[in-house]
Amino acid sequence: MGLVVAAYDPGSHVGGLFHALLPDTNSNLARAKDKPCMFLESGFETLQLALLASGAVATRLRYYSVGGAQVMGASTNLNIGLKNTDALQRLLAARGMKLTNLHLGGHTCRSFYLSIETGEASVLLSGQLNEIML
Amino acid sequence: MTAIEDYLSRVKNLPPAPRVLPELLKLLRSPDVDADKVVHLIKYDPSLTVSVLQLANSAFFGSARPSEDLGEAVTRLGFQQVYILVAAVSGARNLTPEQKGYGMATGDLWRHSATTAVAAQLIAKDLDDDVDLVFTAGLLHDIGKVILSDTLESTYSVIVHETSQNRYSLLDVERRVLGFDHAEVGGRLLAKWNFPANLTAAVEHHHQPEKAGAHARLAAYAHVGNLIAYSVGQGYGNSSYAMEPSSAAFQILGLDEDSLPNYMMRTLDQMNVIEALFRVKT
């Protein structure tokens, strides 16, 4: 239901990721200040700032996103996975940004891997043995 | 004999009953709780005694002078804190081991169950219901999985395929493979352990609380707690399609579905405290 946003700069080999639980920072501003990566929007800002502070160059950053699965047969109200992916699309559109690659939606839980050394990004779907390279 | 009774009678090594829980719940229901009786229930169980003493002496309770007396520790913690601790420790014995049939690693089922219990309890507190009872229903809602895990191990790939490719819920897959599900087995197990009818019904019907009759409210708490635990990412194991949320559960509790994100955040905060306490203890 939550989703991972990752960014990697192949020039400086600086990368990072966060796992957002909820889409809307405004739903709890105090919490967003305390734990920004719980929310998509504040998490995105925090990740960017952290990477730039560590030597990444903004124009070189490759962005990935994984998750937002509908892991329950949920009504729209309870479908937080869908709300998270919609919020990500809006956030990227507002910034005129595009993801280098993504693995979003669907109905399956997954794990995401990012190699800081090589920049390789991959996804492992629940119950599967082989990772999918992004 | 029904299919479940036949199945349970053939299961070797049924988990040990957390016998102290129904007795302690009953004790705490009385208008004047007798601290000596609470101590009496706990003191014959060494690991419970150690847990209560360690918690009472932990930095969390800011104790300047260590307590070596169980009675003093119980008084210091308060009955509700003691109950939650006893429930969590008793539950952990059964729920902590790896559940291979569900693809759950050591600690996963305990963490999912404790998260469910904490979420349900937070809601119960807001709605002025019995928090101890609700916590117990949440903690034990998946106890049936402990029994079914071994059996399902041989059909692991079927579960993965049916949940991820064919979009059957885990409950449906269990029914298709076994003829019954973990909720029914859990309810029967609690009945076998002589747990009260409200907890037995809540566990048996935690996926369809509206079918729990007079105990629908307690079952609805277990349902919504379960939903929140999955929503914060706890307890999927190999089943990517975990459960079908019941709007009836929200109606039974009079709870707005939009309150879910708020309870997710509060549950995570509370779980951080509980996991820290367990680290203190171990």
Tens digit of each residue's pLDDT (9 = 90 or more) over B103-161: 888 988 989 999 999 999 999 999 999 998 999 999 999 999 998 888 888 777 777 77
For the segment A9-35, the average pLDDT, to the nearest whole number, is: 86
For the segment B185-200, the average pLDDT, to the nearest whole number, is: 91
B244–A71 C-beta distance less than 8 A:
no
Q: What band does B240 get if pLDDT is binned at 50, 70 and 90?
A: low
pLDDT in tens, B36-80: 888 888 888 877 888 888 888 876 666 667 777 888 888 888 888
For the segment A64-89, the average pLDDT, to the nearest whole number, is: 78
Q: What is the DSSP letter of B14?
A: P
Q: What band does B166 get if pLDDT is binned at 50, 70 and 90?
A: confident
Q: In angstroms, how far is CA A32 from the centroid of its own chain?
A: 16
Per-residue model confidence (pLDDT) at position B245: 83
Per-residue model confidence (pLDDT) at position B53: 85
For the segment B158-182, the average pLDDT, to the nearest whole number, is: 81
Q: Which pairing describes strands A62-67 and A101-104: parallel, antiparallel, or unpaired?
A: parallel
3-state secondary structure of A126: coil
Strands (E) located in chain B: none
Per-residue model confidence (pLDDT) at position B81: 83
Instruction: Spell out a b/e string for B179-218, using b for 16 or more CB atoms within 10 Å of the CB, else e.
Output: ebbbbbbbbbbbbebebbebbbbbbbbbbbbbebeebbbb
Identify whether the C-beta of residue B56 lies closer than 8 Å to the C-beta of residue B81: no
B241–A73 C-beta distance less than 8 A:
yes
- Does residue B197 have a pLDDT over 90? yes
Instruction: Spell out a b/e string for B64-81, using b for 16 or more CB atoms within 10 Å of the CB, else e.
Output: eeebeebeebbbbbebeb
- Does residue B195 have a pLDDT over 70? yes
Q: What band does B282 get if pLDDT is binned at 50, 70 and 90?
A: very low
Question: What single letter denotes the amino acid at residue B126?
Answer: D
- Percentages helix, strand, coil for chain A, rounded to the nearest 5? 35, 30, 35
Phi, psi dihedral angles at B79 (to 5 degrees): -60, -40
For the segment A25-42, the average pLDDT, to the nearest whole number, is: 82
- Does residue A59 have a pLDDT over 50? yes
Q: Distance (Å, rounded) from C-alpha B79 to C-alpha A133?
A: 53
Identify whether the C-beta of residue B165 lies closer than 8 Å to the C-beta of residue B171: no
A108–B164 C-beta distance less than 8 A:
yes
Q: Which of B239, B244, B264 sits opposite A21 (nearest CB)?
A: B264
- Does residue B238 have a pLDDT over 70? no
Per-residue model confidence (pLDDT) at position B48: 82
Most confident of A6-15, A72-81, B152-161: A6-15
- Does residue B90 have a pLDDT over 80? yes
Most confident of A98-112, B13-27, B109-123: B109-123
Residue given tokens 């973990």 in the structure block: B182
Chain B residue with CA closest to A106: the answer is B164
Chain A residue with CA closest to B250: the answer is A78
Q: Distance (Å, rounded) from C-alpha B74 to C-alpha B49?
A: 10
For the segment A69-86, the average pLDDT, to the nearest whole number, is: 73
Mutate to test the interface with A, among B153, B165, B172, B231 (most CBs of A within 10 A): B231
Chain A residue with CA closest to B103: the answer is A127
Per-residue model confidence (pLDDT) at position A69: 76
Q: What band does B242 get if pLDDT is binned at 50, 70 and 90?
A: low
Per-residue model confidence (pLDDT) at position B219: 98
Q: Distance (Å, rounded) from C-alpha B52 to C-alpha B71?
A: 10
Per-residue model confidence (pLDDT) at position A75: 62
pLDDT in tens, A115-132: 999 999 998 877 677 788
- Of the candidates A48, A28, A54, the one whose C-alpha atom is nearest the C-alpha of residue A95 is A48
B265–A38 C-beta distance less than 8 A:
yes
Per-residue model confidence (pLDDT) at position B274: 76
Interface of B with A (CB under 8 A): 103, 157, 160-161, 163-164, 167, 169, 227, 230-233, 236, 238-245, 247, 257-258, 260-262, 264-265, 268
A73–B242 C-beta distance less than 8 A:
no
B261–A73 C-beta distance less than 8 A:
no
Per-residue model confidence (pLDDT) at position B128: 96
Mutate to test the interface with A, among B232, B238, B241, B268 (most CBs of A within 10 A): B241
